[in-house]
Structure 1
Amino acid sequence: MKSKKLIEGDMMKGLDVKTIKLGQEAKTKEEAIRQAGQLLVDNGNVEPAYIDSMLD
């Protein structure tokens, strides 16, 4: 996939089609952060504690 090569840099390494979902709904900012963090956890990019650190 051509667009995958456009994402570079340490912070961007965890982003690919498995860690991006479009059209998701969240009632709060916290819920949106938890949903995004869970995608990273499910893909093995981060530990679950990372989600809480994003909220601090």
Structure 2
Amino acid sequence: MTKASNDNERPTRIELETANRNLRASLKRSEDLVSDCRDKLVGAYGLTLPEDASR
């Protein structure tokens, strides 16, 4: 875990890069969960998705 900068100090480049990397990883996990849930719902209800809505 990274040390948070003091509110009066500007974050360092390393802190910003670390926060950005963590946010990208979190976004990827969220996208994967949404995709998995969508696939399960589509399968459970026997639906089909339009071609452009597919991954």
- TM-score, normalising length from structure 2? 0.31
Select the structure of larger CA radius of gyration: 2
Please identify which structure carries the higher helix content: 2
